[in-house]
């Protein structure tokens, strides 16, 4: 595609598999159980997007939709100070970097809907180089009671977010929690996405409760899906859906300097 450009994750194997990192202009979904590191991953990406170009960053602003109040600028600065001490020891730099992240905390789906219009304006004006939604499923977890919206609760939002990615040509990263992977290893991602009786993602298995909450449209809308999981005490990041990569998995750790391979 002509969209071009990637946000490097600094995780070498992952960047190589994705031909440079998180692609611009499309949706990347990061899924995994509670506590696996989805938010830590997004904090690292936010840091990298706001970092000066001289250090390999995108030298931009970030819009971070923090649905569950899990964003921590303190933690982001810790990751920055440990990963790029030469920048962060400069006076005022930590504050400057933190100031580049606009954190929005919508308390309802309708507030989120309103903020999307503002975001569209910001994307046109403000040198935004990354949009994070952490998490999408949390936006609807309290909202899907019954009735007409049940089938495609977020259809409009999904199309809108996808179009934001396309027209602004920035990476859009969305997290989603899936149920924790206890007992049976075949269980958590064994749901195959079915559309009109056809399996649309054989190799990419997708959690049934995400399909129930976000609708089938969501699974289609995502270009890259990264699955974070733990096996025998080791965390892995897996490229579960990609137009350019086979389903590779890379072990990672979370330390004071953030996510690392
Ligand atoms: P949820 O679905 O609940 O939002 P998550 O996938 O976003 O979960 P994170 O909050 O990204 O999970 O990861 C939490 C984990 O990150 C903690 O369990 C801890 O192991 C690790 N972690 C957080 N801060 C540090 C730190 N300073 N040093 C080392 N590890 C840390
Ligand atoms: Mg989180």
Residue 1 confidence (pLDDT) = 42
Taking the C-alpha atoms of 230, 235, 240 and 244 in order, what is their torsion angle to the nearest 10 degrees? Answer: -170
**Beta-strand pair 224-231/22-23:** unpaired
Ligand 1 neighbours, Cβ below 6 Å, are: 32, 34-40, 70, 177, 254-256
Say if residues 26 and 225 touch (Cβ distance below 8 Å).
no
**C-alpha–C-alpha distance, residues 66 and 133, integer Å:** 7
Say if residues 157 and 172 touch (Cβ distance below 8 Å).
no
**C-alpha–C-alpha distance, residues 58 and 206, integer Å:** 31
Residue 153 confidence (pLDDT) = 67
Q: Is the dihedral of CA 54, 58, 60, 63 positive or negative?
A: negative
Residue 155 confidence (pLDDT) = 86
pTM of the model: 0.90
Nearest CA to ligand 1 atom 17: 35
ipTM of predicted assembly, 2 dp: 0.99
Number of H-type helices and E-type strands within the chain: 10, 13
3-state secondary structure of 70: coil
**What's the CA-to-centroid distance between 233 and ligand 2, angstroms?**
19
What are 164-205's pLDDT values in tens digits?
999 999 999 999 998 765 544 443 443 444 456 654 443 346
pLDDT, block means (10 residues), the chain with 261 residues = 79 96 97 96 97 92 97 96 93 93 94 94 93 94 54 81 96 91 44 51 62 84 95 94 92 96 86
**What's the CA-to-centroid distance between 258 and ligand 2, angstroms?**
14
Residue 96 confidence (pLDDT) = 92
**Pocket-testing residue among 207, 254, 259, ligand 1, by greatest number of atoms within 8 A of Cβ:** 254
Taking the C-alpha atoms of 216, 217, 221 and 226 in order, what is their torsion angle to the nearest 10 degrees? Answer: -20
Say if residues 22 and 7 touch (Cβ distance below 8 Å).
yes
Residue 183 confidence (pLDDT) = 42
3-state secondary structure of 6: strand
Q: For residue 254, give the ligand nearest its CA.
A: 1
Residue 103 confidence (pLDDT) = 97
């Amino acid at each position: 595609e002509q969209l071009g450009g990637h946000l490097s994750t600094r995780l070498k194997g992952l960047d190589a598999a994705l031909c440079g990192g998180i692609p611009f202009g499309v949706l990347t979904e990061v899924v995994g159980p509670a506590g696996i590191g989805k938010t830590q991953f997004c904090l690292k990406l936010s840091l990298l997007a706001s970092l000066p170009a001289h250090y390999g960053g995108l030298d931009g602003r970030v819009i971070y939709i923090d649905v569950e109040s899990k964003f921590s600028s303190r933690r982001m600065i810790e990751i920055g100070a440990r990963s790029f001490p030469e920048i962060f020891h400069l006076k005022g730099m930590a504050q400057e970097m933190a100031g580049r992240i606009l954190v929005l905390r919508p308390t309802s789906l309708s507030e989120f809907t309103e903020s999307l219009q503002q975001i569209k304006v910001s994307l046109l004006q403000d040198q935004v180089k990354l949009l994070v939604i952490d998490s999408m499923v949390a936006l609807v977890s309290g909202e899907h009671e019954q009735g007409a919206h049940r089938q495609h609760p977020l259809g409009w939002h999904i199309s809108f977010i996808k179009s934001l990615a396309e027209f602004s040509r920035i990476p859009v990263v969305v997290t989603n929690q899936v149920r924790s992977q206890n007992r049976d290893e075949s269980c958590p991602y064994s749901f195959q996405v079915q559309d009109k009786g056809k399996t649309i993602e054989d190799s990419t298995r997708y959690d049934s409760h995400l399909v129930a909450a976000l609708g089938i449209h969501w699974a289609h809308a995502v270009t890259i899906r990264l699955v974070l999981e733990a096996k025998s005490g080791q965390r892995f990041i897996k490229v579960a859906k990609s137009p350019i990569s086979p389903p590779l998995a890379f072990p990672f750790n979370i330390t004071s300097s953030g996510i690392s391979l």
